[in-house]
Amino acid sequence: MAKQFPVELVAVEAKVWTGEAEMVVARTTEGELGVQAGHAPLLGQLAEPAQVRIKLAGGEQLTYDVAGGFVSVRPDGMTILAEDATPASPAASSATTH
């Protein structure tokens, strides 16, 4: 089992999702970025349009369509700040904010 780390997906209007993830994949202006626990700190600009995929323990994956924004990776977790974020799959729409 991969190590988990805290992740927040925040849109302008509200916190969309928060919890522990094994990996997050996001498309930035520099290319697709995969983040796992222990990743080096960075700040990246999300490409438009983009998707963010949050891989949870047990193999579940949440997918969100995002517009505009940034990803911030810190030693204590990751934050995705988007202008807008909406579920892109049935699994994401049934997820609840923790």
Task: Please write the tens of the pLDDT for every residue from 4-36.
Answer: 999 999 999 899 999 999 999 999 999 999 999
In this predicted structure, the answer to whether residue 97 has a pLDDT above a threshold of 80 is no
Residue 21 has φ and ψ, to the nearest 5°, of -130, 155
Rg of the Cα atoms in the chain:
12
Q: Look at the domain 5-93 and name its fold.
A: ATP Synthase; domain 1 (2.60.15)
The reported pTM is 0.86
Burial of 26 (0-12, 13-18, 19+ CB in 10 A): buried
Strands of the chain (E only): list them: 5-11, 15-21, 23-28, 31-35, 42-45, 50-55, 61-74, 77-87
Q: What is the pLDDT of residues 55-73, one digit of tens each?
A: 999 999 999 999 999 999 9
Pairing of strands 5-11, 77-87: parallel
